[in-house]
Amino acid sequence: EPEVTQTPSHQVTQMGQEVILRCVPISNHLYFYWYRQILGQKVEFLVSFYNNEISEKSEIFDDQFSVERPDGSNFTLKIRSTKLEDSAMYFCASSGRGQGGEKLFFGSGTQLSVL
């Protein structure tokens, strides 16, 4: 069964450092997303991406964040200068198109710890 894969599963970084979280969406999907879950809080939307551009972003997704689809398979989230409050589980998701296209399929997540 096709699945969304994320690497690394755990990332520890120092405050102020840049991190890149990587995702390989399901191959025939066209819409890509990042969500995050801070410990003890709800899963929250960060950004959606379609046709090589951001479709929508939340207020969390400020100038420190960026997304990119550098090739035909990868989808990345970059945090330019990490803060303590960026510590969270980051989930990548993808979805298809047309009927049923709103079904999001999530990866297993990257646990980011900012020290």
Partner 1 sequence: GENVEQHPSTLSVQEGDSAVIKCTYSDSASNYFPWYKQELGKGPQLIIDIRSNVGEKKDQRIAVTLNKTAKHFSLHITETQPEDSAVYFCAASYGSWGKLQFGAGTQVVVTP
Interface residue list for partner 1 (CB under 8 A): 4, 6, 31, 33, 35, 41-45, 48, 50, 55-56, 91, 93, 95, 101-109
Residue 13's beta-bridge partner residues?
114
Nearer to partner 1 by Cβ, of 78 and 97: the residue is 97
Q: How far is the CB of 13 from partner 1 (least distance, A)?
A: 21
Tokens at residue 83, please? 């803060």
CA distance 31 to 65: 18
- Contact 90/112 with Cβ under 8 angstroms? yes
> Of 35 and 82, which has the nearer Cβ to partner 1?
35
